[in-house]
Amino acid sequence: MQNIMSRMRRCIDDYEMIAPGDKIAVGISGGKDSLVLLAGLAGLRRFYPNKFELQAVTIDLGMGMDFSPVEQFCRGIDVPYTVVKTQIKEVVFDVRREENPCSLCARMRKGAINDASIAAGCNKIALGHHFDDAVETFIMNQVFEGRIGCFDPVTYMSRANITQIRPMLYMGENMIAAFAERENLPVVKNTCPADGETRREEIKKLLSELSEKYPDYKNKIFTAMQRLPLGNWAVKK
């Protein structure tokens, strides 16, 4: 836990993610990433100099997932938990029958979590994107869209008047998975019909192959994103 919180705190400090008095909604999908994010922030909350509050929020896409173990976990770490039921799965897969369902689903989830977070009185939303997500997104934008770009560590959304933060950018997926298993976090099985068949999975496999030949490949991409700097990736401290 100490290693998780240390990396999270360094990322938060580097990008000035948390200010005194923030109320942060933590987006909980039920996957390992968001649960580790919640556990880390709940631990950090005890001693971080900028005092902040937490509110866990799940957007239920209507895929029949049981979030009751997550609710019990939140009670155990003293974090209020809200589940917002939606028909996103029905709209994306049954009504629209999207060929690329992830894009529409992401937009609808974003709107839903923004609304839920604002309703809970939050001014920031913490998302579980990590080191590997950032590198994969950077490569995806080049391969599929022909552009240099990635999400930012901190993003202010003017229309919603809320700020997204990504405190796990200094943690790799393997570290996160190991912690979730070791701590027996209540990971909820993903029932999405598109799980494992996305463009991201293609890029994940490509990066895995490249990393076998060039072990430091992903680290160099991440460092380059900070040095360019890409968007708002320049370290502030």
- The reported pLDDT for the residue numbered 71 is 97
- The reported pLDDT for the residue numbered 197 is 60
Confidence of residue 229 (pLDDT cuts 50, 70, 90): confident
Beta-carbon contacts of 230 under 8 Å, excluding residues fewer than 6 positions away, are 138, 148, 149, 150, 224
Confidence of residue 194 (pLDDT cuts 50, 70, 90): low
Confidence of residue 196 (pLDDT cuts 50, 70, 90): low
For the chain, give percent helix, strand, coil, nearest 5: 50, 15, 40
The chain-wide mean pLDDT, for the chain, equals: 92
Calculate ∠ Cα 21-27-28, nearest 5°: 130
Can you tell me the distance from the alpha carbon of 106 to that of 44, in angstroms, rounded to the nearest whole number?
Answer: 28
Domain ranges of the chain: 2-227
- The reported pLDDT for the residue numbered 195 is 65
Q: What single DSSP character describes residue 168?
A: B
96-124: pLDDT as tens digits: 777 777 778 888 899 999 999 999 999 99
pLDDT at 64 over 90: no
Can you tell me the distance from the alpha carbon of 137 to that of 160, in angstroms, rounded to the nearest whole number?
Answer: 24
- The reported pLDDT for the residue numbered 179 is 96
Superfamily (CATH) of domain 2-227: HUPs (3.40.50.620)
- The reported pLDDT for the residue numbered 218 is 96
125-183: pLDDT as tens digits: 999 999 999 999 999 999 999 999 999 999 999 988 999 999 999 999 999 999 999 99
Q: H/E element holding 8?
A: helix 2-14
Beta-carbon contacts of 169 under 8 Å, excluding residues fewer than 6 positions away, are 11, 129, 130, 131, 134, 153
